[in-house]
Amino acid sequence: MSEGQIPVGRTVCGPAAVIEDDTEALPFPILASDHKWRNISSFGTDQTWGPLKELKIGGLQRIEITTKLTQARAKWVALGSEFGAATAGMAVVSQNRTTAIGRACTLDFRWALGQTFRKGDIVLNAFETLIGKPPQTSGSTFWDFGRASFFHEGLVPWYGDTIKVDQEWLDTMSTWSVLSNDAGGYNMSGFEALLDATVVASPDHTMFLGPESTYDSLVTLEYITSVYFVDAISRTGWDLSLLYANNTIINPILQQGSTENQKILNGGPVFSRPTNIPYSVVNANWHTYGAAWTLQDSGQWISVAILSVHMVIAIVHSLILVVRRRSVETWDSIEELIVLAWNSMPTRRNDELRNCASGILRTKTLESKVRVVAIEEQGLGSRVELVVVDEMARNKDGRSVDTIKPGEAYI
């Protein structure tokens, strides 16, 4: 879990208006910082609008489009204090080849204190961000995200003041997109390309205020605008990352003279800088992060202490063996021990060591004395076994028990 500032906001769009040849202004909502601007009891024309104020924009008139039937255009504008809790304004025009409909929106965005949770039990380590400080989890329960009103009583205390932006920052944010150009018509920005792919581009949808199913244009417009602006704040920040509003693609000229890894690792420029065209410099920084653990109680401290002592003993023992040049001879006879243990598995006879092959389980076994002897196997020879001394006897079950003789082979 990590804590920090996260961007939150709302986009409120005013009523739609027909764009005539002499239209130069649109009504922008005046937002209050502590309550909603629009109260909708049911979708339709009976909604209650808040206060509006017209702002002269210019460039709203319908344009000629030749390769498609509809077109969405947008313009970002900086708003003054007379528009209330306003971060910025945005005017959108939806048009076909005969009609243009305009609508103005006011954005209210703020920084809020929030917490981000990473769920380690999920394969993709999914994370979620919550506003404020949720209560501590207990047992198998956890705090989950739930949608709420922008002015929910549990969220408002964590908001900061409304952010104010200037026209320069807005121009930098609304960059031109080469992938969305119409070969025979209007060159769209990246934001306009998003709107143009939805019902916002159609003036028929924008103007009609009917049942909920036909209210998609307004909802879609406010949704896309909010997501786009939050993304811009999160990625671009308040430092201008582009010096020119139309510089959003990598010009092939800028990719000349690449030095690849050598200059990246040494802090130098990756590409040679041109002298005959405008360009923007993007700086990339790499940061190394680590993980740490904390000891919460005395049990963990004791465990770490025992582990540390064990490691010290092992290191000292290894150093002594290396310095004295001594090796461990225990493993030299491991094969013989395995054979003896296997041959001494419990059977119907009582002259063998009990539980030798499966592990010593009885205290009586630990108190017994054993000898390694040779026991005759029905004329086939003698084999080596572990025999309890107290029970050892000659001619047991008709077999002869002898002592081990050096140099003699046994089965």
Per-residue model confidence as pLDDT tens digits over 114-143: 877 665 554 444 566 778 876 665 555 555
Highest mean pLDDT: which range of 70-74, 80-84, 196-200: 80-84
Question: Over the stretch 207-250, which tens digit does the pLDDT of each residue have?
Answer: 544 444 446 788 888 999 998 998 888 765 433 333 333 334 44
pLDDT at position 243: 37
What CA–CA distances, in Å, run from 90 to 26, 102, 112, 336? Answer: 10, 11, 23, 88
Stretch 50-54: mean pLDDT = 90
Distance in angstroms (rounded) separating the CA atoms of residues 14 and 38: 9
Radius of gyration of the chain from its Cα atoms, rounded to whole angstroms: 41
Question: Interior CA angle at 403 toward 400 and 406, to 5°?
Answer: 130
pLDDT band at residue 82 under the 50/70/90 scheme: very high
Question: Interior CA angle at 46 toward 89 and 227, to 5°?
Answer: 30
| Both tokens assigned to 87 | 């971060």
Mean residue pLDDT of the chain comes to 73
Residues of the chain above pLDDT 90, percent: 15
| Range from 23-27, 192-196, 246-250, 368-372 carrying the lowest mean pLDDT | 246-250
- Please say if the pLDDT value at position 328 is more than 60: yes
Stretch 44-57: mean pLDDT = 77
pLDDT at position 89: 95
pLDDT at position 394: 47
Question: Do 376 and 382 contact (CB within 8 A), yes or no?
Answer: yes
pLDDT at position 213: 40
**What values do phi and psi take at 12, rounded to 5?**
-120, 120
Q: Which residue has the higher pLDDT, 243 or 387?
A: 387
- Please say if the pLDDT value at position 28 is more than 90: yes
Name the amino acid, one letter, at 46: D
Question: Over the stretch 340-362, which tens digit does the pLDDT of each residue have?
Answer: 666 665 555 555 454 444 445 55
What CA–CA distances, in Å, run from 339 to 176, 311, 388, 401? Answer: 82, 34, 17, 18
- Please say if the pLDDT value at position 269 is more than 70: no
Question: Do 169 and 175 contact (CB within 8 A), yes or no?
Answer: no
Which of 83, 32, 74, 26 lies closest to 170 in space, CA to CA? 74
Side-chain half-sphere exposure of 335, counting CA atoms within 13 A: 1
Alpha carbon of residue 408 to chain centroid: 72
Which of 107, 78, 104 lies closest to 93 in space, CA to CA? 104
CA dihedral 274, 277, 280, 284 (to 10 degrees): -20
Q: Which residue has the higher pLDDT, 124 or 54?
A: 54
pLDDT at position 407: 73
| Range from 46-55, 70-79, 244-253 carrying the lowest mean pLDDT | 244-253
Alpha carbon of residue 24 to chain centroid: 45
Q: Which residue has the higher pLDDT, 308 or 152?
A: 308
Q: Which residue has the higher pLDDT, 387 or 80?
A: 80
Show the 3-state SS of the chain.
CEEEEEEEEEEEECCCEECCCCCCEEEEECECCCCCCCECCCCCCCCECCCEEEEECCCCCCCCCCCCCCEEEEEEECCCHHHECCCEEEEEEEECCCCEEEEEEEEEEEEEEEEEEECCCCCCCCEEEEECCCCCCCCCCCCCCCCCCCCCCCCHHHEEEECCCCHHHHHHHCCEEEEEECCCCCEEEHHHHHHHCCHHHCHHHHHCCCCHHHCHHHHHHHHHHHHHHHHHHHHHCCCCCCCCCCCCCCCHHHHCCCCCHHHHHCCCCCCCCCCCCCCCCCCCCCCCCCCCCCCCCHHHHHHHHHHHHHHHHHHHHHHHHHHHCCCCCHHHHHHHHHHHHHHCCCCCCCCCCCCCCCCCCCHHHHHCCEEEEEEECCCCCEEEEEEEHHHCCCCECCECEEECCCCCCCC
Q: Which residue has the higher pLDDT, 358 or 100?
A: 100
pLDDT at position 286: 60
pLDDT at position 76: 92
Question: Do 402 and 374 contact (CB within 8 A), yes or no?
Answer: yes
pLDDT at position 275: 78
Highest mean pLDDT: which range of 348-352, 383-387, 398-402: 383-387
Residues of the chain above pLDDT 70, percent: 59
Question: Do 215 and 43 contact (CB within 8 A), yes or no?
Answer: yes
Question: Over the stretch 286-316, which tens digit does the pLDDT of each residue have?
Answer: 666 666 777 778 888 898 899 999 999 999 9
- Please say if the pLDDT value at position 97 is more than 90: no
Q: Which residue has the higher pLDDT, 22 or 181?
A: 22
pLDDT at position 398: 55
pLDDT at position 31: 93
Alpha carbon of residue 82 to chain centroid: 40
Stretch 75-96: mean pLDDT = 92
pLDDT at position 30: 93
Question: Do 54 and 28 contact (CB within 8 A), yes or no?
Answer: yes
| Both tokens assigned to 359 | 């592990």
- Please say if the pLDDT value at position 59 is more than 90: no
